[in-house]
Amino acid sequence: MDNTEIAALLPHREPFLFVNEILKADKEGISARYVFTEDAFFFRGHFPQYPVVPGVILIETMAQSGGAGLCKLGMVGTESDTLFFLAAVDKVKFRRQVRPGETVRSEIVNLRVSTSSIKQAGKAYVGDELAAEAEWLCLIRRNNGTKTPDPQ
């Protein structure tokens, strides 16, 4: 897949689109990749002397990978009618720093998928090294005016 195909699956746009390619997508899980290029906006300030991908960006990368894979499968809608909002993030662990020029492979497991929410778990790897892991819940909102309830 190229960036145009990925953009057709997700509502995110540059500079906040963190999926380059879906490697695998089925009902059990998704595998995707993203290359963190040296010109990424956050490296200028995190940190100029020792640039590192922020942990929250790694979580976002995994969540976007999971959402893109589900959209590719037709399980949760398409970019034109669906927005995803992180509602909860649990069991987060950062194991390895991710630096400019490194490729992250996200391995996502679908825990629960419904018309209103997605529960997934994921691991982010650089090569064979585990960089981060987490579980998250995303709420789905349709762009046609139908609102998904806010988490409370």
Which pLDDT tens digit goes with each residue over 96-146? 999 999 999 999 999 999 989 999 999 999 999 999 999 999 999 877 655
Mean pLDDT over 80-93 rounds to 90
Element (H, E) at 87: strand 82-94
pLDDT of residue 4: 85
Asked whether residue 152 carries a pLDDT value surpassing 80, the answer given is: no
Say which of 33, 46, 99, 123 is annotated catalytic. 46
Q: Please write down the long-range contacts of 41-47, taking CB distance under 8 Å and 24 or more positions apart.
A: 41/15, 43/100
Q: What is the pLDDT of residue 142?
A: 79
12 is catalytic: no
Residues in contact with 127: Cβ distance below 8 Å, sequence separation at least 6, in sequence order: none
User: Who's near 70: CB < 8 A, 6+ residues apart?
Assistant: 25, 30, 76, 110, 113, 118
pLDDT tens digits, residue range 34-59?
999 999 999 999 999 999 999 999 99
Above pLDDT 90, what percent of the chain?
76
Residue 90: name the closest of 151, 136, 150, 131 by CA.
Answer: 136
The pLDDT of residue 149 is above 80: no
Average predicted confidence (pLDDT) for the chain: 91
- pTM, entire model: 0.91
Average pLDDT in the 67-76 region? 92
For each of the domains in the chain, give its residue range(s) and CATH number, in order of start: 3-142 (3.10.129.10)
Give one DSSP letter per residue of 110-139, joined into a string: EEEE-SSEEEEEEEEEETTEEEEEEEEEEE
